């Protein structure tokens, strides 16, 4: 066949971009469904509010999170200090905001790291298959079998304590689940005819994985990611609680809750305020994840 265009009937007027009907992608359909879910949308809104509170708050507050005032030590909520002060006289509200920055940062960065590694690794293993797949997944099994706490303690001992190391440590653990989910999804998709069609066109493996496979497994991945963020934040709280994570005078919600529970019988507000924000964030993310799952895969929505 020489040239297709020469054999086609002469086209009438060329189509201009303005004439095109815009289609609605599966993403925009999912967004429309999510918008109808009041709980999920409220959660998203609340999560953004908490984020703004933590990020912008410290700049507006007259207090410094690390400035001690031993004369004002451990006072309950008042007009000056809305959340009260801790035993060293530091304003708790600023500390909750700054702790939130770190907790949210850990949650988002570690989740992104796990997302990136997990999706690429899982998609590659699933698409190539065979011995490569078996080898790659046995490596995942191996990491799964490693006790997490010992792994983190080893890292901390070997490289010293740092926030970035904690991102790496948590990311290294969380990507395993992601990789398994993506691999399963890709193996499922690989048999679909549109992937065969892409192979028939002579597209590169890279392009097939990036354009045809990953966008189609992203739905469940996004859901898992929103549920991973709170899991990661809990891990960070756990590590900080053990003294392996964020170190004083820096604060994270985990650190603040730890400090609060030591004095909770006398200065209850030291536990209540950070715990409230932490719990609220976890609730929001879980509801959002639930809502996203229903929106992205309406067939699975239970009701």
Partner 1 sequence: MSAAIGDPATDFLVLQDVRTHFDLGRDFLTRQSKGVVKAVDGVSLTVRKGEVLGLVGESGCGKSTLSRTIMQLIRPTSGQIWLEGEELSAISDQDIRETRKNFQMIFQDPYASLNPRMTVMDTLAEAIRTRHPGLNAEEMRGRVSDLLRTVGLNPVQMKRYPHEFSGGQRQRIAIARALAPEPKLIIADEPVSALDVSIQSQILNLLKRLVREMGLTMIFISHDLSVVRYVADRIAVMYLGHIIELGSAEAVVDKPLHIYTKALMSAIPLPDPRAEKARTRIILPGDLPSPLNPPSGCVFWPRSPVEHDERLKTVPPGFAEVYPDHWAADCPFCVEKPA
* Window of 59-67, 106-114, 192-200, 293-301 that interacts with partner 1 by CB under 8 A: 192-200
Q: Which of 56, 65, 54 is nearest to 104 (CA)?
A: 54
Q: Under the criterion CB under 8 A, does residue 7 sit at the interface with partner 1?
A: yes
Q: Under the criterion CB under 8 A, does residue 164 sit at the interface with partner 1?
A: no
* Window of 57-65, 73-81, 85-93, 201-209 that interacts with partner 1 by CB under 8 A: 201-209
Q: How far is the CB of 142 from partner 1 (least distance, A)?
A: 22
Give the up-direction half-sphere exposure of residue 163: CA atoms within 13 A in the CB hemisphere. 15
Using CB under 8 A, pick the residue from 23, 62, 130, 160 that binds partner 1.
23
Q: Under the criterion CB under 8 A, does residue 202 sit at the interface with partner 1?
A: yes
Q: By rule CB under 8 A, what string of x and - marks binding of each residue 260-289 to partner 1? A: ------------------------------
Using CB under 8 A, pick the residue from 142, 154, 197, 210 that binds partner 1.
197
Cβ distance to partner 1 smaller for residue 17 or 147: 17
* Window of 17-25, 60-68, 159-167, 172-180 that interacts with partner 1 by CB under 8 A: 17-25
Using CB under 8 A, pick the residue from 69, 78, 162, 192 that binds partner 1.
192
Q: Under the criterion CB under 8 A, does residue 210 sit at the interface with partner 1?
A: no
Q: Which of 299, 296, 251, 287 is nearest to 30 (CA)?
A: 296
Q: Under the criterion CB under 8 A, does residue 22 sit at the interface with partner 1?
A: yes
Using CB under 8 A, pick the residue from 114, 212, 251, 255 that binds partner 1.
212
* Window of 129-137, 160-168, 208-216, 240-248 that interacts with partner 1 by CB under 8 A: 208-216
- Pairwise CA distance, residues 285 & 43, whole Å: 7
Q: Under the criterion CB under 8 A, does residue 250 sit at the interface with partner 1?
A: no
Using CB under 8 A, pick the residue from 60, 70, 145, 201 that binds partner 1.
201
Q: Under the criterion CB under 8 A, does residue 14 sit at the interface with partner 1?
A: yes
DSSP output for the chain: ---HHHHSPPPSSPPPGGGPPPP--HHHHHHHHHHH-HHHHHHHHHHHHHHHHHHHHHHH-SS-TT---GGGTT----SSSTT-B-TT--BHHHHHHHHHHHHHHHHHHHHHHHHHHHHHHHHHHHHH-HHHHHHHHHHHHHHHHS-HHHHHHHHHHHH---HHHHHHHHHHHHHHHHHHHHHHHHHHHHTSHHHHHHHHTT--HHHIIIIIIHHHHHHHHHHHHHHHHHHHHHHHHHHHHTTSSS-TTS--HHHHHHHHHHTTTT-THHHHHHHHHHHHHHHHHHHHHHHHHHHH-GGG---
- Pairwise CA distance, residues 282 & 93, whole Å: 19
- Pairwise CA distance, residues 289 & 43, whole Å: 10
Q: Under the criterion CB under 8 A, does residue 211 sit at the interface with partner 1?
A: yes
Q: Under the criterion CB under 8 A, does residue 303 sit at the interface with partner 1?
A: no
Number of residues that bind partner 1 (CB under 8 A): 36
Q: Under the criterion CB under 8 A, does residue 3 sit at the interface with partner 1?
A: yes
Cβ distance to partner 1 smaller for residue 158 or 201: 201
Binding-site ranges for partner 1 (CB under 8 A): 1, 3-5, 7-9, 11, 14-15, 17, 19-27, 192-194, 196-204, 211-212, 215-216
């Amino acid at each position: 066949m020489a040239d297709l265009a020469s054999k086609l009937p002469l086209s009438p007027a060329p189509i201009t971009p303005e004439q095109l009907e815009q289609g609605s992608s599966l993403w925009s359909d999912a967004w429309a469904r999510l918008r109808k879910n009041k709980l999920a949308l409220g959660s998203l809104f609340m999560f953004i509010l908490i984020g703004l509170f933590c990020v912008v708050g410290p700049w507006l507050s007259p207090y410094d999170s690390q400035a001690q005032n031993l004369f004002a030590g451990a006072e309950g909520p008042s007009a000056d200090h809305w959340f009260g002060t801790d035993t060293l006289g530091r304003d708790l509200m600023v500390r909750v905001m700054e702790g939130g920055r770190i907790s949210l940062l850990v949650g988002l960065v570690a989740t992104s790291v796990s997302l990136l590694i997990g999706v690429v690794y899982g998609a590659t293993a699933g698409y190539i298959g065979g011995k490569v797949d078996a080898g790659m997944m046995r490596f995942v099994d191996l990491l799964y079998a490693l006790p997490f706490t010992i792994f983190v303690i080893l890292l901390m001992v070997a490289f010293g304590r740092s926030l970035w190391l904690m991102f790496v440590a948590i990311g290294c653990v969380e990507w395993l689940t992601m990789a398994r989910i993506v691999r399963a999804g890709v193996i499922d998709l690989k048999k679909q005819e549109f992937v065969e069609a892409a192979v028939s066109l002579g597209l590169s493996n890279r392009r097939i994985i990036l354009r045809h496979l990953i966008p189609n497994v992203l739905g469940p991945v996004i859901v898992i990611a929103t549920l991973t963020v709170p899991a990661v934040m809990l891990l960070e709280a756990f590590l900080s609680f053990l003294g392996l994570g964020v170190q004083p005078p820096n604060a994270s919600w985990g650190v603040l809750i730890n400090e609060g529970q030591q004095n909770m019988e006398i200065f209850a507000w030291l536990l209540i305020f950070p715990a409230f924000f932490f719990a609220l964030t976890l609730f929001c993310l879980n509801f959002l994840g639930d809502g996203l799952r229903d929106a992205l895969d309406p067939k699975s929505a239970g009701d």
